Structure 1
Amino acid sequence: MTKILIVGAALGYTVFKVYQGYKETKKTKISPSLSTPKKVILKKEKITLPSDMVINNQPVEENLPVVTDENLTNEIKKSAERDFIVSSASLGLTTVGALVYPPLIIASIAGMVYLTIPIWQKGYHSLFKKRQIDIAVIDSIALPGIFLTGHFFIAAIAFWLYALSQKLLLKTEDQSVKSLINIFGEQPNFVWILKDNIEIEIPFDALKVGDIIVVNAGEAIPIDGMIANGVASIDQHTLTGESQPVEKGIGDKVFASTIMLSGKINIQVKQTGEDTVAAKIGEILISTIDFKTSIQSRGQEIADKSALPTLILSGLAIPVAGHTGALAVLGSCLGDNVRITSPISVLNFLKIASEQSILIKDGRALELLSKVDTVVFDKTGTLTQEQPHVGKIYTLQERKENELLRYAAAAEYKQAHPIAKAIIQAANERELNLPDIDNAKYDVGYGIKVNIENQLIQVGSIRFMEMENIAIPYEIKQIISDCHDSGHSLVMIAIDNQLAGAIELHATIRPEAKSIIKDLHQRNISTYIISGDHEKPTQRLAKELGIDNYFAETLPENKATLIQQLIDAGKVVCFVGDGINDSIALKKAHVSISLKGASTIATDTAQIILMDESLKHLCQVFDLANHLDKNLNTGLITTIVPGLITIGSVFLIHMGIIGSIVVFNAGLLAGVTNSMWPLVEHHQKKKSK
């Protein structure tokens, strides 16, 4: 009974140390701050947020570049392959020696000594240089100890399984990386260019910016560029996640690795090779894959925490089960398999994300998302679409609404800004036939003057009308004031220097916004709006969408300050906004998400980009983060439980080294299965759709 109590206490201590190590690796470190209280507008009233807590060790302060050494990676692969060959030869020699010719066992020892040397070196470095007992010390005792005690065949199996696991890990990682990157396809060897109206085939590497290439139906677009001639239906789901093909014509942008479904187009080359959006996404994914090192460090720390209690238990096993039992305890490797299974889990989740039009530029953000309790939305371009929509049309001089809209749409027809698109769209919805214009004059930022049907049409802001010396009636001034309070904008229309009316433009709320906010609330995540608009329209939008709090009348440079105030209040903040204009706020938040899509990937500072330029996949990002967290937790269980079974069995039924190896590898198999299962489920769901 005493022996059982001692062993039980030791096992309990071991589990406690492993769990303690696991919890420490997941902590967000928070320490008190002496900063003064700060005030923000929340739900219309001013309140003081406590600032006695500050996250001063943010894991994600900015996007740090990841430097990879290809030569080092190749050397690791070669070393793993060499170790596998040597261990296989040793196992073969030991097997033949045990069955046919015993002297061959001596030859196998040379191979095991070769494999032991680097293991001993790591253990020596930990014990005498770092002055700590970690998993390297356990390895340096366990593996060599098996064959030094005369268990040559068992040692050969142990070394072979160890080398095989390392080889399989590298192979799985390599295949996962290739699969992840190959989502965006490969560049062709040759392309057709148009020169002097003749199509000429040239090597892809010879292509230059400015060349005109010809792409036909069924072909992949090899470069980023602009359509110079023709129309086409293009499948660009690999970049944007759009389920439906898009129709594109002259002046529209196209991207490499998208597929021409129909039509024929000439494309003026803007970027080639490594400068294309697809290539940049590939580079980002390669860098993000190195996030496995931080996950591996979690497994490493867990394994290291278990090293000392495992060594103590091994010593206790000597009088109970002898040296064989002691080595079996050392071979239990509590927490060790996490170093193998966790990186595979991360790679698979990154692949799943990329197939759902979610580009994760900084893998650390995926880990932090499971801790987020506050989401802050930038209003313009995030909760609202870039293009507004026409609300009311105000008329003067007994003009008709359609008449004003027709003139305004004709004047704006060649413009590409959001206001022009909104007016043209409204005219199209009313099926208005637009007249021809001539003598167009554009005052950039203020308005347009055009001649239509022998009349001078002036379209623009109130400032433009004042510059043109056009009188503004009192009733229009009152409407301007009301629109200003409501957050709407007005476009004035004058005919022959007399104001004829105005078109009211409203911000267009994203159709998916309300359901996304509701979903976030169901996850117990609080929500905020940051807006430069006045308080009333901001408050109205927050109420309409069901958003908890808002910051109104916020200058762009103050967004980061408001994010910091929430962080000082102890919040873990995710900021969703414009990847370019909100760069400071994006960097200040723990996690940053952008909706800008593929066209601005090179300049986007966000850690995560929703490639379809909508909020539709926002909750999927949180789902992925939570599923990854659960998967890693399950992976931890698959490595701790087999270890505990081994240790308990050594003391209770005197399990030997063979049993320890079997249980260890059963745990490894369970861990790898757990790591691969999310990807299997994802592919099954895709097939069922």
Structure 2
Amino acid sequence: MASSPSALMRFQSACVTCVQGGQRFVGRYRDFLLDPGTLFTLASLVLLIAATIVTPDGLINSEHARTWLYLAAALAGSLYIWWSAIQGIRERDFTADIPVSFATAAALIIGQYSAAAVVAVLLLLGGMLEEFVSARAGNALDSLSKLLPDRVTVRRNGEDLVVVLSEVQSADLVLIRSGDRIPVDGVVVQGTASINQAAITGESMAVERRPGDTVYAGTLNELGALEVRTTKVGEETTLGQIRRMVEEAQEQKAPIERILNRYAKFYTPAALILGAFVWWWSGDILRAITILIVFCPCVMVLATPTALVASIGNAALHGSLVKKGATIEAMAKVTAVAFDKTGTLTFGQPKLTTIQPLGILTETDVLRLAAIAEKLSEHPLGRAVVQAAMDRELPVPDPQQFTVLPGLGVQARIEDGEVVIGRPRLLSEQGITVDPEIQARATNLVAVGRTVILVAHNGQIVGMLVLEDTLRPQASSVIMHLKKLGIRTILVTGDNTVTAERIAGELGISEVHAEVLPAQKVEIVKQLQAQGFDVAFVGDGVNDGPALATANVGVAMGLGGTDVAIETAEIALLSDDLTKLPHLLSLSRQAMRAIKQNLIFSLSVLAIAVGLAIPGILAPVTGAILHELSSIPVIANSARLIGLREHHE
């Protein structure tokens, strides 16, 4: 007895957890639960269960099935099916609802209330399951709309005002405190903060944001305070674009699905003709009704959209936005992937990789001098130098004077004297002697794609800084994974040949096209297609726009990038993570295999059911059960794609 209080507490805790889980479920799937199809399905199901409890033998004995509960269950379900059939006829979309409408109407006329109820409930349950798969797949992104705060603090005319989110305008200065959700897309003007961007980019770790950095609506400010200048609001934000494209993805249908629907149009007259023939041949109208029930193409038509929507949902949950179902089909056929270099295989930003002291100063001293001189510079090379110093936690005070020199160099006065930074030629033009050995070393580094700048202190060269656009850490493993999948890889870049070949060599890409213009990238894609390859082009969406549009599948690096990427690419890698690419290829191939499995299974069940219905072995109720139960394996086979995980090597 001593354990009773503990058991009671566990029971109460379980009940609370159950209630909370139910509340979360209702909150997440509110639209699905309030959909008319769901409401009619549940109403018909509840009435059928009640009728079965009151009159259990009514399922097998039509005389006992003529009760008001069976009739109510049949009408609740049939009315919605009839309405759907009428809507389909008006739109010239001859779906499975039409033969089922004939079947349920005929069953009601001859007094087979239980048969009509079972047929209606099972057909509606199949549709409801499909809608649930769709709701589950899109739920992760649909929930993003709830990530935005209702009210926002805006600084206008020196005053801090709290306004509703809809009143925030572009160029407004928005204040973001620690723990706040960021309500707009914008650029940090002041402050430093740790931002959790998992909801948008899928990044597991928070990232630091400083003045000049971009932030996105829906992300969380974990620590720090920011002033953000608004660049996009409402549906123009990255969050709004995600929602819009997910809706488009769920509305659009792949070519394979349209073909099935076209064939489905022939099923309706075929079912009616076969049913009429069986009635004439056997004189048994129940057999004709059974034929109408089992001959419906709903399971076959269900085979494709469930798999495509589940695949789109899986991609979204892993940080990739697929615009439409047709992309899944196209991705499954890809046999060659062409990569842009800058911003795709590399970060697209210079990074200080080497510091070579050329005098008595240490490496740290050279970096400190360069960072102070470059602190006010807006050039990417200058920012890279300052960032390197900050990464080492070096003090970087403002220079006393700062001048930008013609030729992308800077001259600054600091406490220790005068500092000049620039390429060797610039320093020579400033009257600073560049030793031939230093000149030769710099020339050799430039020849292999590096950027070299020299640091002079009080007229003497004290160090050499080497910068380069570094490879993304996952690029090499992605290329290796693609090769294992049998995919041909190509590097297509506008960069110089030496740099392109060096990058390709490091990654194991044997085919390189360098120093090409955007139009030439399109020609390369077309040449690959003419050779029989289905091409995916991966780029950052700037100069790659035409190639992204020409390829069989365009993949843009980062949805937060350019509008060109969003409009021309079929897929956006939200976190700029190349490892998503092999996953998308594997996912697409498995989706197409699932569709083929679904079609083979549904055709087999159709053939068996028709064969059993003609001699009268199947009755309307058993035929409906067999037909609708056959949709469960199809939906389950598709739904498993949502949980398909990435395999990292």
Give the TM-score, by structure 2 length: 0.78
Distance 1:93 1:211 in 2: 62
Distance 2:128 2:624 in 1: 18
Q: Describe the superposition over 1:489-525 as per-residue Cα deviations: whole angstroms up to 9, x where unpaired.
A: 2223345566666433333122111111111111111
Matches within 5 A, 1:505-516: 505-516=467-478
The residue aligned with 1:217 is: 178
In the alignment, structure 1 residue 280 sits paired with structure 2 residue 241: yes
The residue aligned with 1:615 is: 578
Shift in alpha-carbon separation, 1:629–1:414, aligned structure 2, 3 A: farther
The residue aligned with 1:70 is: none
Q: Identify which of 523, 527, 532 aligns with 2:489.
A: 527
Q: Does the aligned pair in 2 maintain the 1:122–1:140 contact within 8 Å?
A: no
The residue aligned with 2:12 is: none
Q: Does the aligned pair in 1 maintain the 2:291–2:614 contact within 8 Å?
A: no
Q: Which amino acid aligns with 2:345?
A: L
Instruction: Return the offset for 1:633.
Output: 2.9
Distance 2:149 2:63 in 1: 56
Distance 1:198 1:552 in 2: 53
The residue aligned with 2:402 is: 440
Instruction: Return the offset for 1:182.
Output: 0.8
In the alignment, structure 1 residue 202 sits paired with structure 2 residue 163: yes
**Partner SS for 2:598:** helix
The residue aligned with 2:560 is: 598
Q: Describe the superposition over 1:407-456 as per-residue Cα deviations: whole angstroms up to 9, x where unpaired.
A: 32322223455423443455567776657522211247621111234643
Q: Describe the superposition over 1:113-132 as per-residue Cα deviations: whole angstroms up to 9, x where unpaired.
A: 99658747967997xxx9xx
Matches within 5 A, 1:625-664: 625-650=588-613, 654-664=617-627
Q: Identify which of 528, 550, 554 aligns with 2:516.
A: 554
Q: Does the aligned pair in 2 maintain the 1:296–1:338 contact within 8 Å?
A: no
Q: Describe the superposition over 1:645-684 as per-residue Cα deviations: whole angstroms up to 9, x where unpaired.
A: 21232357732222211101111222233333333666xx
Instruction: Return the offset for 1:599.
Output: 5.1
Instruction: Return the offset for 1:283.
Output: 1.7
In the alignment, structure 1 residue 367 sits paired with structure 2 residue 322: no
5+ long unaligned stretches in structure 1: 1-72
Q: Which amino acid aligns with 2:194?
A: S
**Partner SS for 2:294:** coil
- State which drifts further: 580-589 or 317-326: 317-326
Shift in alpha-carbon separation, 1:619–1:421, aligned structure 2, 3 A: farther
Q: Identify which of 205, 214, 238 aligns with 1:253.
A: 214
Q: Does the aligned pair in 2 maintain the 1:335–1:640 contact within 8 Å?
A: no
Give the TM-score, by structure 1 length: 0.74
Instruction: Return the offset for 1:284.
Output: 1.9
Q: Identify which of 363, 369, 383 aligns with 2:345.
A: 383
Distance 1:515 1:100 in 2: 65
Matches within 5 A, 1:488-499: 488-495=450-457
Distance 1:562 1:178 in 2: 39
Q: Which amino acid aligns with 1:624?
A: L
In the alignment, structure 1 residue 349 sits paired with structure 2 residue 311: yes
Distance 1:627 1:214 in 2: 46
Distance 1:120 1:197 in 2: 61
Instruction: Return the offset for 1:575.
Output: 0.8
Indicate the percent of aligned positions where both proteins have the same amino acid: 26
Instruction: Return the offset for 1:276.
Output: 2.5
Q: Describe the superposition over 1:57-92 as per-residue Cα deviations: whole angstroms up to 9, x where unpaired.
A: xxxxxxxxxxxxxxxx99x96688679979999999
Shift in alpha-carbon separation, 1:671–1:490, aligned structure 2, 3 A: same
5+ long unaligned stretches in structure 2: 1-30
Shift in alpha-carbon separation, 1:192–1:544, aligned structure 2, 3 A: closer
Distance 2:248 2:406 in 1: 42
The residue aligned with 2:13 is: none
Q: Which has the higher contact order (CA 8 A, sep 6+)?
A: 1
Instruction: Return the offset for 1:614.
Output: 2.8
Instruction: Return the offset for 1:333.
Output: 3.2
Matches within 5 A, 1:30-41: none
Distance 2:483 2:608 in 1: 42
Shift in alpha-carbon separation, 1:632–1:100, aligned structure 2, 3 A: closer
RMSD: 4.4
**Partner SS for 1:242:** coil
Q: Does the aligned pair in 1 maintain the 2:179–2:222 contact within 8 Å?
A: yes
Q: Describe the superposition over 1:311-342 as per-residue Cα deviations: whole angstroms up to 9, x where unpaired.
A: 78657756479543344334223642243454
Q: Describe the superposition over 1:529-561 as per-residue Cα deviations: whole angstroms up to 9, x where unpaired.
A: 112344344333323212231112323442111
In the alignment, structure 1 residue 538 sits paired with structure 2 residue 485: no
Q: Describe the superposition over 1:16-75 as per-residue Cα deviations: whole angstroms up to 9, x where unpaired.
A: xxxxxxxxxxxxxxxxxxxxxxxxxxxxxxxxxxxxxxxxxxxxxxxxxxxxxxxxx99x
Shift in alpha-carbon separation, 1:506–1:286, aligned structure 2, 3 A: same
Q: Does the aligned pair in 2 maintain the 1:240–1:612 contact within 8 Å?
A: yes
Q: Which amino acid aligns with 1:256?
A: A
**Partner SS for 2:348:** coil
Instruction: Return the offset for 1:583.
Output: 0.8
In the alignment, structure 1 residue 674 sits paired with structure 2 residue 646: no
Distance 2:420 2:348 in 1: 24
Shift in alpha-carbon separation, 1:102–1:522, aligned structure 2, 3 A: closer
Distance 2:590 2:485 in 1: 14
Q: Does the aligned pair in 2 maintain the 1:87–1:159 contact within 8 Å?
A: no
Q: Which amino acid aligns with 1:460?
A: G
**Partner SS for 1:414:** coil
Distance 2:147 2:291 in 1: 50
Distance 1:450 1:106 in 2: 90
Distance 2:447 2:515 in 1: 12
Equivalent residues, number:
606
Shift in alpha-carbon separation, 1:172–1:534, aligned structure 2, 3 A: closer
Q: Does the aligned pair in 1 maintain the 2:411–2:419 contact within 8 Å?
A: yes
The residue aligned with 2:153 is: 192
- State which drifts further: 369-378 or 505-514: 505-514
Q: Does the aligned pair in 2 maintain the 1:449–1:456 contact within 8 Å?
A: yes
Q: Which amino acid aligns with 2:549?
A: K
Q: Does the aligned pair in 1 maintain the 2:119–2:293 contact within 8 Å?
A: no
Shift in alpha-carbon separation, 1:561–1:431, aligned structure 2, 3 A: same
Q: Does the aligned pair in 1 maintain the 2:119–2:625 contact within 8 Å?
A: no
In the alignment, structure 1 residue 236 sits paired with structure 2 residue 197: yes
Q: Which amino acid aligns with 2:317?
A: E
